[in-house]
């Protein structure tokens, strides 16, 4: 059995390397050209009809193209997608982060900078005095989310536009991380709803 199977695979490999012999109709190329032109012209007339129909308000539910016109429309993204970071808050609005430095330690790009300080509540060990993420370095691996024992950092803001005009603007500070999109970073305003 195993020998037969091996032979079969050998044949398969050998046959795959051989080029299929073209038939006479394929060799003169005309029929194949006609078939190709038929396919593309079918797409052309169908899409042209739909584009015109959309203009007058018909068949709006059938898309005429697969294009997402990016700055005007944005794509539906999966909630699992790793997008820009945010820091979760306690009920009183302070960060859940206890400045344990695990994320800063695990970060392979070394883009997280935490300065810890004492928390006024003696039950909580520490809190971040500052928490900066340099998006210019971040590789979006999600290790910080994975490693956090307090569920204090998440990557679920669905913000993909991280471009900025300077390196300083690529640095996210604590207020921006706590309330994503609240502070105006140039070139980083959230997209208008499609």
Partner 1 sequence: MVTELLIKLALTAFFILGLVLNFAGLLTWVERKQSAIMQDRVGANRAIFQIHGWWARPINFVIRKIAGLGLLHPLADALKMMAKEDFIPAQGQRLLHTLAPFVSVFFALVTFAAIPFGDTLNVGGRAINLQIAKMDIGLLYILAMASLGIYGVFLAGVSSGNNYAYLGGVRAAAQMLAYEIAMGVSLLGILIWYGTLELQQMVRLQGGTWFGWIPRWGVFVQPVGFIIFLTAAIAETKRVPFDLPEGESEIIGYFVEYSGMKFGMFFLTDFVETVLVACLATTLFFGGWQVPYLYADGWHLPWGAAARLPHLAVVGLQLASFTFKVAGFLWLQMLIRWTLPRFRFDQLVRLGWKGLFPVSLANIVVTAIVVVALK
21: which DSSP letter? P
Q: How far is the CB of 192 from partner 1 (least distance, A)?
A: 17
Which CB sits closer to partner 1, 8 or 30?
A: 30
- Residues 6 or more apart whose CB falls under 8 angstroms from that of 43 comprise none
Are the C-beta atoms of 139 and 66 separated by less than 8 Å?
no
Q: How far is the CB of 116 from partner 1 (least distance, A)?
A: 48
Q: Which residues pair with 125 in a beta bridge?
A: none
Pair of tokens at residue 96: 């859940």
Which CB sits closer to partner 1, 12 or 46?
A: 46
Which CB sits closer to partner 1, 8 or 48?
A: 48
Q: How far is the CB of 17 from partner 1 (least distance, A)?
A: 20
Are the C-beta atoms of 111 and 137 separated by less than 8 Å?
yes
**Interacting residues toward partner 1 by CB under 8 A:** 30, 33, 36-37, 39-41, 43-44, 47-48, 51, 64-67, 69
What is the rounded CA–CA span in Å between residue 85 and residue 146? 13
What is the rounded CA–CA span in Å between residue 173 and residue 99? 15
Which CB sits closer to partner 1, 23 or 67?
A: 67
Q: How far is the CB of 76 from partner 1 (least distance, A)?
A: 18
Q: How far is the CB of 186 from partner 1 (least distance, A)?
A: 22
What is the rounded CA–CA span in Å between residue 50 and residue 63? 8
User: Strand 112-118 relative to strand 171-172: parallel, antiparallel, unpaired?
Assistant: unpaired
Which CB sits closer to partner 1, 21 or 72?
A: 72
């Amino acid at each position: 059995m195993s020998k037969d199977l091996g032979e079969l695979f050998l044949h398969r490999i050998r046959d795959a390397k051989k080029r299929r012999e073209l038939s006479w109709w394929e060799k003169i190329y005309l029929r194949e050209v006609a078939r190709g032109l038929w396919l593309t012209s079918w797409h052309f007339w169908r899409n042209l009809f739909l584009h015109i129909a959309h203009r007058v308000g018909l068949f709006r539910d059938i898309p005429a193209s697969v294009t997402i016109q990016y700055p005007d429309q944005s794509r539906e993204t999966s909630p699992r997608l790793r997008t820009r970071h945010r820091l979760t808050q306690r009920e009183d609005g302070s960060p859940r982060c206890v400045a344990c430095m695990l994320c800063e330690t695990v970060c392979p790009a070394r883009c997280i900078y935490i300065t810890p300080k004492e928390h006024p509540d003696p039950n909580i060990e520490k809190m971040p005095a500052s928490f900066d993420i340099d998006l210019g370095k971040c590789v979006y691996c999600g290790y910080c989310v994975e490693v956090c024992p307090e569920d204090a950092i998440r990557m679920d803001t669905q913000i993909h536009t991280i471009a900025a005009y300077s390196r300083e603007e690529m640095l996210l500070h604590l207020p921006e991380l706590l309330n994503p999109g609240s502070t105006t970073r140039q070139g980083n305003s959230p997209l208008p709803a499609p």
